[in-house]
Amino acid sequence: MSADGLTPEPAQQPAQQPAQQPARPVVAEPGGADGEWLRVHPASPFVRGWVALAAIGFFFGRDIFERVLQGRPVLEDGFAGRVPWLIAAGGAMLLIAVLGFFLTWYFTKYQVSEGYVRVNTGFLFRQQRQARLDRVQAIDIVQPLLARIFGLAELKFEVADAGESAVRLAYLRMDEARQLRATILARAAGVVQDPQRPREDAPEAPEYPVLSVPPSRLIGSLLLSEQSFFVVVGGVASVILSAVTENRGFYFYLIPAALGLAATYWGSFNKGYNFTAAISPDGIRLRYGLLDTQAQTLPPGRIQALKVAQPPLWRIFGWYRIQVNVAGYGVAGSSGEGASRTTLLPVGRLPDVMSMLSLVLPDPGTREPDKVFGAGLTGSDSDGGFITTPLRGRLLAPLGWRRNGFTATDTALLIRSGRWWRELVVVPHQRTQSMALHQGPLARRFRLVDLVLHTTAGPVSPRLIQADVDEARVLFDEQSARARLARRRQTSEQWLAQVTPQGHPSLAEQAAESPATTTETPIQGGQQHG
């Protein structure tokens, strides 16, 4: 069953603009008012293709290198041996590679003009990619190790096409990359160009630090992760089986597991090292990385869904992890680079979680945000207004039936699940694209049903588990109305028209400072059917 009426209605212009907006200067088109086509840094092809150069040098220079190490003359046989041919072939291949690098650089151009960013690449097979500035979902500055050495950076930004429409500029000087990012963000935010100063650059927006993750906590979270738990269990099982069967071959199964765990540890540590988060008028800024650094900017309101997770061993120290779905990142957010880009907080305590939630959802839509969100993270039963699985569902979920539940504020739907692996999923109402009710034969016997919310692809899969049939149907209808109303209120795609990006306090502090934080929507999802 899919939701009716979830298609956004035509936006209506507001009667008046917000009373306060952050002061930002007007900005110009990069490269001049006429949208001039610019080239990337001349060293860009060499930074991208250094592996090819290394392969050519190894293949054609291995024999020469061995002669040098052995103290033998390079041209031991004069010009009659194979060394001169290797030198000539290697020189020709190197010349072809350098020529290809030059042509790649020469035919790679970019332009920011008329509300679009355009990138032309290729000299044999030409390609042009463009994206609307007001559809930009996120902007990253990526610095691989070699690029950091030469002071270069790659600018990458995504639009809503599951990662297929990502536009990359590799490579620019670091200051140019930051300036171009600031200009694109300012244009996408709705800042108007000053016709009297067409070539004035947009200054980088100020930022307010929110939190940082110390390396010691990151290392501790890796040691207490799910991978470590299963490897320890596998090691214990191998020892027991080896002692019972007197077969030492079981120990060899631990070798690939240990190597895989070490690679996973290193990848997570390399990506999560020196993680910092800040808020600015451009959005949420994340910086992380040990060898390859990345500066990521998530515009306000572009996050489609959020998940706060707590593995069992992390409960000892009260640690949590936050992952998000962002349009444009797509299914790549499951592993590797995509996993780091969809991680809003690799590991943090409850105050850190509440701080990040306040950035994603500045208006919690409830007068008691600390109670509601705290119940979603740590509570059970019906505390915090959560409607849980009915008593008859305890046979299907003997451990989690008191934990599984939902509630709704005026701005978001909250879904919690898991007794051991705790999870809290937050979906802003306007990001609900469609819904479906799933019911198997066993759930039908107990009059239970799962409600699935469809958002963009990513690590977060919003799903209400084992809800009462009648309550799920009511939630289905009410959430359709909430989504329709929230989309009607979102009258602009420009960021400054949607939010007031200041240094947001935590949800609890916001509720304490403003006792009337709820909007005009009369729906209080978790309190209607208690």
Percent of the chain with pLDDT over 90: 32
pLDDT score, position 400: 86
**What would the pLDDT profile of 237-264 be if each residue is shown by its tens digit?**
877 887 787 777 666 777 777 888 888 8
Span 353-372, average pLDDT: 90
Burial of 292 by CB count in 10 Å (0-12 exposed, 13-18 middle, 19+ buried)?
middle
Over residues 221-225, mean pLDDT: 92
Residue-wise pLDDT for 331-362, tens only, equals 544 445 667 788 999 999 999 999 999 988 88
User: pLDDT for 406-453, tens place per residue?
Assistant: 999 999 999 999 988 999 999 999 999 899 999 999 999 999 999 999
Least confidently predicted of 152-166, 442-456, 464-478: 152-166
Give the per-residue pLDDT at 356: 93
pTM for this entry:
0.76
Residue 23 has pLDDT above 60, yes or no: no
Side-chain-side CA neighbours of 485 within 13 Å: the count stands at: 14
The residue behind tokens 């996973």 is 264
The closest of 269, 272, 163, 507 to 366, measured between CA atoms, is: 507
pLDDT at site 196: 65
Highest average pLDDT, of 179-183, 194-198, 327-331, 442-446, comes from 442-446
- Give pLDDT tens digits for 91-140: 788 888 888 888 888 988 888 887 788 888 888 888 888 878 777 777 88
Residue 81 pLDDT grade (very low, low, confident, very high; cuts 50, 70, 90): low
Question: What is the separation, in whole angstroms, between the first and last Cα of the chain?
Answer: 25
pLDDT for residue 334 = 45
Domain ranges of the chain: 41-107, 214-274
- Strand pairing category for 463-468 and 448-454: antiparallel
